[in-house]
Chain A
């Protein structure tokens, strides 16, 4: 497993995509940190980028890479290596590369441009959210490539999944909220947010930022919920379930797949 991991990691770190990805983060985060009036508004701007781009890149880069490595996979699986180890090695290699890119891309500019007003807590929550999203969407990418022999179809699914979590989910959520407006919706809204990892990360960062301004009754409910240990544990569990489910499914399918 370690050899697969090492191979994938270095292969990815050398690829031009990962360099482009890192550079993109370096540029956008240093620009925001440098030009924004306050550190919190820089984090707010970065939040939109991270929540939007990280899942997209994890999905697309994952799908591209695993389709590229199809032949190599067949070669490797002919060797005496357990399939679980092979898939996990691939997954770990992918996420390590992506997380390294993310850390360098945001962490480095933040450290270099930092001054006493830099909102480090908010930034670290932001980076943690990026890490969580990478974990989730890389697993989904691996699963997509495994389930679809047809590359075009695979790409299509990847983009649809991304679009669903980034935009469509919120639309449906809003529709439901408006439709059931006459009922007390706080708990429902809470569940709705926790179920979508992108929403969960966004709300967590908003709660951290001062401009969160999650006002009124809903805001109070949320602040209380996420302030409690129970809230923290459920939020974390939800995130981890999103990682574990695709991975478990991946291993189950992978073990029986006829390459």
Chain B
């Protein structure tokens, strides 16, 4: 009994001991400057920044700290270089406005960068007018949530990424708004991470860019108006669910680019008004189901290097072209989809058309060979050609066929 009481006492002491002090920083406080505050702080302390502008750059954080901004607390990098550099675990950066990082052609300057850290939280910050927003290297178990990362990129060569992760593990990136950078969110060699509920808009290159990153999920994000959409390259076991890809429109744009990727799930996404909704090159064993493709230029471009993908239960609604492939054969399965251009009938009333549907049109081939032929879209001559081709397929792949096309879209 006594032993237990002692135990509890010691435990409580430890708790209070490790809780750390709270240090306020403001223009009229004893500590006016962020750098001094960070240097004087003990591990585990909390710095509270009162409203005001704190000019600082190249500030290294080498101990566990919480930096919490009150309303109106602004850290200004004055375009001198990097701002906050995290070199310790359990650093929390909360509620701050961090701004002004200059473009560098030599170094990847970021508002918040981190190297070999873990269990950090970067939340509720506004990161404005920076080169890179966050540059996280060799770190793990971060939570990056509810941040607004907005810059003003115009050229790929002079801009950085909003959230850049390299060699990371178990990261959560949630509900951030990333706008007008080169890439909205960039993953390279990142594992076991979740990207959820983010809005990525108006970025010069990709809304989301995956390279060599396996076992990640991205769920419920919105990618709008990005230079060329979302690229997922060289990865496996990636889950993409409930995302919206919208208005990624331009000569070289797509909603989702799949390159050398395998064993992923693409489910319940909405693709609306993209030049090419899904562009697949070397995609293997992907499960593409329950998505809606609406009013895209091409709903899917599946190159001959794509194999064993399953395209099931999707809605293809008023796309200029439903499917294109450059292969005379077909190694993928298309089944149970709804195609708005389908003209078959359903005599046995089971909800599926009795006539198989071939979603690849002859005109797609013509356009692929000779782009200006696009001008003949919806011309009567093309309609005649299509009719002849449908009656006796000679150019379009006979094997690419949906045997059970739906009569009605599924919602």
Chain B contact-residue range equals 20 to 34
Give bound CA distance, A177 to B251, whole Å. Answer: 20
Contact assessment for B373 and A215 in the assembled complex, using a CB-CB cutoff below 8 Å: no
Given contacts A41-B318, A193-B375, contact A215 B275 (CB under 8 A): yes
Interface stretch among A59-67, A199-207, A236-244? A199-207
Given contacts A52-B380, A170-B380, A206-B377, contact A178 B320 (CB under 8 A): no
Minimum Cβ distance to chain A for residue B361 (Å): 13
Minimum Cβ distance to chain B for residue A149 (Å): 32
Give bound CA distance, A178 to B295, whole Å. Answer: 27
Give bound CA distance, A37 to B318, whole Å. Answer: 10
Give bound CA distance, A133 to B58, whole Å. Answer: 69
Interface stretch among A6-14, A74-82, A116-124, A216-224? A216-224
Given contacts A213-B297, A215-B251, A215-B297, contact A171 B373 (CB under 8 A): no
Q: Which of B273, B373, B377, B384 contacts A167 (CB 8 A)?
A: B384
Q: Which of B298, B370, B378 contacts A48 (CB 8 A)?
A: B378
Give bound CA distance, A38 to B294, whole Å. Answer: 12
Give bound CA distance, A205 to B205, whole Å. Answer: 31
- Most interface-central of B273, B297, B320, B379 (chain A CB within 10 A): B379
Does any Cβ of A come within 8 Å of B27's Cβ? no
Contact assessment for A199 and B297 in the assembled complex, using a CB-CB cutoff below 8 Å: no
Does any Cβ of B come within 8 Å of A115's Cβ? no
- Most interface-central of A166, A177, A206, A220 (chain B CB within 10 A): A177
**Count of chain A residues with a beta carbon within 8 Å of a chain B beta carbon:** 39
Minimum Cβ distance to chain B for residue A202 (Å): 6
Contact assessment for A178 and B373 in the assembled complex, using a CB-CB cutoff below 8 Å: yes
> Which residues of chain B have C-beta atoms less than 8 A from A174's C-beta?
366, 373, 376, 381-382
Question: When each residue 185-210 of chain A gets 1 if its CB lies under 8 Å from chain B and 0 otherwise, what string results?
Answer: 11011001100000100110010001
**Nearest opposing residue in chain B for A47, CB measure:** B378
Contact assessment for A181 and B375 in the assembled complex, using a CB-CB cutoff below 8 Å: no
Does any Cβ of B come within 8 Å of A110's Cβ? no
Minimum Cβ distance to chain B for residue A164 (Å): 11
Given contacts A213-B297, A217-B251, A217-B371, contact A178 B379 (CB under 8 A): no
Contact assessment for A222 and B251 in the assembled complex, using a CB-CB cutoff below 8 Å: no
Contact assessment for A189 and B318 in the assembled complex, using a CB-CB cutoff below 8 Å: no
Q: Which of B275, B369, B378, B382 contacts A206 (CB 8 A)?
A: B378
Give bound CA distance, A32 to B209, whole Å. Answer: 43
**Nearest opposing residue in chain A for B295, CB measure:** A211
Given contacts A173-B376, A211-B295, A211-B320, contact A218 B371 (CB under 8 A): yes
- Most interface-central of A41, A44, A171, A215 (chain B CB within 10 A): A215
Give bound CA distance, A151 to B55, whole Å. Answer: 91
Contact assessment for B376 and A213 in the assembled complex, using a CB-CB cutoff below 8 Å: no
> Which residues of chain A have C-beta atoms less than 8 A from B273's C-beta?
210
> Which residues of chain A have C-beta atoms less than 8 A from B372's C-beta?
177, 185-186, 188-189, 218
Minimum Cβ distance to chain B for residue A186 (Å): 6
Within 8 A of A (CB), among B304-340: 318, 320
> Which residues of chain B have C-beta atoms less than 8 A from A203's C-beta?
375
Minimum Cβ distance to chain B for residue A216 (Å): 5
Minimum Cβ distance to chain B for residue A75 (Å): 41
Contact assessment for A218 and B295 in the assembled complex, using a CB-CB cutoff below 8 Å: no
Give bound CA distance, A181 to B372, whole Å. Answer: 9
> Which residues of chain A have C-beta atoms less than 8 A from B377's C-beta?
206, 213-214
The 6 closest A-B pairs by CB, nearest first: A170-B381, A213-B320, A189-B372, A215-B297, A213-B297, A185-B372
Residue positions of B touching A, CB distance < 8 A: 251, 273, 275, 295-298, 318, 320, 366, 369-382, 384
Residue positions of A touching B, CB distance < 8 A: 37-38, 41, 44, 47-48, 51-52, 166-168, 170-171, 173-174, 177-178, 181, 185-186, 188-189, 192-193, 199, 202-203, 206, 210-211, 213-220, 222
Task: Given A44-B378, A167-B384, output 20 extra A-B contacts at Cβ < 8 Å.
Answer: A37-B318, A47-B378, A168-B381, A170-B376, A170-B380, A174-B366, A174-B376, A174-B381, A174-B382, A177-B370, A181-B369, A188-B372, A189-B375, A202-B378, A211-B295, A213-B296, A214-B377, A217-B371, A218-B372, A219-B251
